[in-house]
Amino acid sequence: MKTKDFMYDGEKKPDLKKLSTNGKEYKLDKQKTIEKTAKMLPRLGELQSRLYAESKEGLLVILQAIDAAGKDSTIKHVMSGINPQGVIVTSFKQPTSAELATAFCGG
């Protein structure tokens, strides 16, 4: 797997239609991925501290998948090695009717 396939430097507008939404092409082994992630967690914490100290750059992680595809578990495992105060998790889902009503009523 090439990390650069998943990087965006902000120089040009990404063409989301060209990005694959199917990870099967990478033929990942779940157990090996879990082991590699566990080894990288201390480094992730260190890098988070550096990003915070410099106050110049940030990291945006976007997970897109159908319901029950493991997005929450992915966040739990990958982000377990960093300071939760430096993480913002936002769900981009269709708003409920109550949320829409609140948005249009100014409340």
Task: Provide the domain limits for residue 97.
Answer: 3-104
Whole-number pLDDT of residue 85: 84
In this predicted model, what pLDDT tens digit does every residue of 46-87 receive, in sequence order? 999 998 889 888 888 888 777 788 888 888 888 888 888 888
**pLDDT tens-digit readout, 3-29:** 777 777 778 887 777 777 777 778 888
Q: Helix, strand or coil for residue 49? A: helix
Name, of 11-20, 33-42, 62-71, 92-101, the range with top average pLDDT. 33-42
Q: Taking Cα atoms as reference points, which of 49, 75, 50 lies closest to residue 63?
A: 75
Residue 99 has pLDDT above 80, yes or no: no
Q: How many domains does the chain have?
A: 1
Between CA 90 and CA 74 the distance in angstroms is 14
